């Protein structure tokens, strides 16, 4: 039912696909031009806080659990014993929090280029930053591409690329040269996981080339998983995993069932379900 009161809306247009998504805002609470991007925070009427970077939705309080749980738990429960984790990007610290819920993780380094994203998240999304003080957490502010170039071989169990879209500063995080450095840094059975955009909108432009580039970089196995993410274009999102020498279909299912921490989206059945791909994706991806 339409209301007569004037209302404010933040709108992100996906020009390429002729769609747009809007959230009703109560207040525009913060704006800043950081050294890397324009950062805005809005208080919405129904979705908690909203952070945008260069006018694109990064996260809201209400639905970020979907993305953060699916960027972390499937990969962590697939690796036999992940101890050393590196997050590239992930400045809102939500992925870091999920990673550190796993008691076996000994060290999690977050390499975010823009410190302001993290500082503002501490202020507006404190629940996501709960684990920032964990002794296993290390926050490094710098270039993830450069960091990965110098990472020692066989020094990491899991790399999570929790970045913005492949335009602007994050472009170098999508492609074979970067994946080669990840491949080198990963130990035996090591896993790389990267957000890979919308199955409906970006299958040909992002997901298929990502598999190709990951395999060209040396990864023997690649798998995409999918999940809802209402505030991103099409409301349907994906993450793509790549692994050294071992498959990605099986996971530590008993551990996932007995996980000693709460989740809102993830569980063992859902993990399996997220790996079950739509027919059009099955037909267009390597075995």
Q: Which residues bind its own copies (CB under 8 A)?
A: 1-3, 9, 11, 13, 15, 17-24, 44-47, 63, 199-200, 226, 228-230, 234-236, 263-267, 269-270, 272-280, 282
Going by C-alpha positions, the residue among 53, 198, 202 that lies closest to residue 113 is 53
Q: How far is the CB of 280 from its own copies (least distance, A)?
A: 5
Q: How far is the CB of 270 from its own copies (least distance, A)?
A: 5
Q: Is residue 134 annotated as a catalytic residue, yes or no?
A: no
Q: Which residues contact 21 (CB under 8 A, 6 or more apart)?
A: 11, 12, 14, 57, 230, 231, 233, 235
Q: Is 143 labelled a binding residue?
A: yes
Q: Is 81 labelled a binding residue?
A: no
Report the residue number, 187 or 235, with the smaller CB distance to its own copies.
235
Q: How far is the CB of 39 from its own copies (least distance, A)?
A: 18
Q: Is 25 labelled a binding residue?
A: no
Cα distances (Å, whole numbers) of residue 154 to 59, 143, 247, 280: 33, 20, 19, 36
Report the residue number, 181 or 240, with the smaller CB distance to its own copies.
240
Report the residue number, 6 or 135, with the smaller CB distance to its own copies.
6
Report the residue number, 82 or 233, with the smaller CB distance to its own copies.
233
Q: Is 63 labelled a binding residue?
A: no
Helix axes 208-216, 176-185, angle to 10 degrees: 50
Q: How far is the CB of 257 from its own copies (least distance, A)?
A: 11
Q: Is 92 labelled a binding residue?
A: yes
Which of the following is catalytic: 40, 63, 162, 249?
162
Q: Report whether 12 contacts 19 (CB < 8 A).
A: no
Annotated binding site for S-methyl-5'-thioadenosine: 37, 112, 143-144, 169
Annotated binding site: 37, 68, 92, 112, 143-144, 162-165, 169
Residues involved in catalysis:
162
């Amino acid at each position: 039912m339409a209301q007569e009161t004037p209302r404010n809306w933040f709108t992100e247009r996906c020009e390429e696909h002729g769609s747009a998504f809007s959230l009703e805002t109560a207040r525009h609470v913060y704006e800043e031009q950081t050294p890397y991007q324009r950062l805005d925070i809005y208080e919405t009427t129904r979705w908690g806080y909203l952070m945008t970077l260069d006018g694109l939705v990064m996260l809201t309080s209400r639905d970020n659990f979907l993305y953060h749980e699916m960027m972390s738990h499937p990969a962590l429960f697939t690796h036999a014993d992940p101890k050393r984790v590196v997050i590239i990007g992930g400045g809102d610290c939500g992925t870091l929090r999920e990673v550190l819920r796993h008691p076996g993780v000994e060290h999690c380094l977050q390499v975010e280029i823009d410190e302001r994203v993290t500082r503002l998240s501490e202020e507006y999304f404190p629940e996501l930053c709960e684990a920032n003080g964990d002794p296993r957490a290390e926050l490094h502010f710098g270039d993830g591409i450069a960091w990965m170039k110098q990472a020692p071989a066989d020094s990491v169990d899991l790399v999570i690329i929790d970045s913005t879209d492949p335009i602007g500063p994050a472009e170098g995080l999508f492609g074979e040269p970067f994946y080669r450095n990840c491949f080198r840094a990963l130990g035996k059975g090591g896993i790389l996981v990267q957000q890979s955009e919308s199955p409906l909108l970006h299958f040909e432009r992002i997901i298929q080339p990502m598999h190709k580039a990951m395999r060209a970089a040396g990864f023997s196995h690649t798998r995409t998983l999918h999940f809802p993410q209402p505030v991103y274009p099409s409301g349907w999102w994906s993450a793509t995993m790549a692994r050294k020498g071992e498959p990605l279909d099986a996971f530590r299912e008993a551990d996932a069932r007995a996980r000693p921490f709460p989740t809102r989206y993830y569980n063992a059945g859902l993990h399996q379900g997220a790996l079950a791909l739509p027919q059009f994706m099955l037909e267009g991806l390597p075995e």
